[in-house]
Amino acid sequence: MSNVYDNILGLIGNTPLVKLNTVTKEIPAKVYAKLESYNPGHSTKDRIALHIIENAEKKGLLKEDSVVVETTSGNTGFSLAMVCIIKGYKCILAVSDKTKAEKIAYLKALGATVYICPANVPANDPRSYYEVAKRIAAETPNSVYINQYFNELNVDAHYQTTGPEIWEQTEGKITHLFACTGTGGTLSGSAKFLKEKNPNIKIIGVDADGSILKSYHETGEIHKEDVHPYQIEGMGKNLIPSALLFDKVDEFVRVNDEMSAYRTREIALKEAIMGGYTTGAVTQGLIQYAQSHELTENDFVVMIYPDHGSRYITKVYSDKWMEEQGFINNCFHNYDEVFKTEFIK
């Protein structure tokens, strides 16, 4: 029987590549988006959750009644909780207080125990979600700490799956890969595979305004003055993850909250793709890159769209939230026409 699976984990991977026709029409290159929301957990993190957990099983690290512990901005947590349900493990997650209430509700619906930690503290602060997860793992018997930021299997999952998929889907014609960087695993693993196939492929990382990754790539030093609060979840960092292979990245582009939010909404309105906040961020990164680099009709650009917009309904897809940030007046000059709501009296 075709398209029949023993459980939901069989649906992970082999996500589609879709051409953008409107948002990037000013860019002469062919532009495609890899829709990772087609994974069963609706994000690219399904790939690493399954890969890391199955690797731990092979090594005998996970046994009956084991506990999986991790730091997450949401998506990795969803994926781990999903895999743990099927595998029979308990899941404990530490998230930052930037995480919206609906994401936390989603994690709890999947049976995860959730610890909420302050976002705007140094990574080594005992209250940070990194340190809280480490402490919980150390104090919990029969537990495994996933440690996605410093786990080489994060990179390997995408080297084994995402990179080969993109190469096959583009028939080896890809010239540029764009992806947002959080842990760095998606970009690094895909880049590692693609560079082996063709070292001339340009790998572009998209970083958040408020993160240190772009400047670290350019200088090899951490610039603490770059760090400030920002709204985009799941990208940028105030630490250097070893899962981000800087030598595989040709260039970083830094994007801000406002333009990333605008692009996210624009993609939904003009391409009918409901992507997450990072969908807008990576698209804004491409648009900024195209303003300073010559892209031609012979170029074949792939952007990785990491997750689904349903997780951002009370954030970037909320008119109220957009207005509170001051984004509506600045970006959507025809707001009343674009987002029209009629009430029947």
The residues near 61 (Cβ < 8 Å, ≥ 6 apart) are 144
Q: Cβ(277)–Cβ(316) under 8 Å?
A: yes
Distance in angstroms (rounded) separating the CA atoms of residues 114 and 99: 11
Distance in angstroms (rounded) separating the CA atoms of residues 235 and 43: 14
Task: Give the residue ranges of DSSP H helices in the chain.
Answer: 45-58, 75-87, 101-109, 129-139, 152-160, 162-169, 185-197, 213-219, 257-271, 277-292, 319-325, 327-331, 335-338
CA 240 from centre of chain? 16
**Sheet of strand 90-96, all strands in order from the earlier edge strand to the far edge:** 113-117, 90-96, 67-71, 143-145
Distance in angstroms (rounded) separating the CA atoms of residues 243 and 124: 18
Residue type, 59: K
Distance in angstroms (rounded) separating the CA atoms of residues 208 and 93: 24
Q: Cβ(282)–Cβ(301) under 8 Å?
A: no
The residues near 277 (Cβ < 8 Å, ≥ 6 apart) are 231, 232, 233, 234, 260, 261, 264, 312, 315, 316
Residues serving a catalytic function are 45
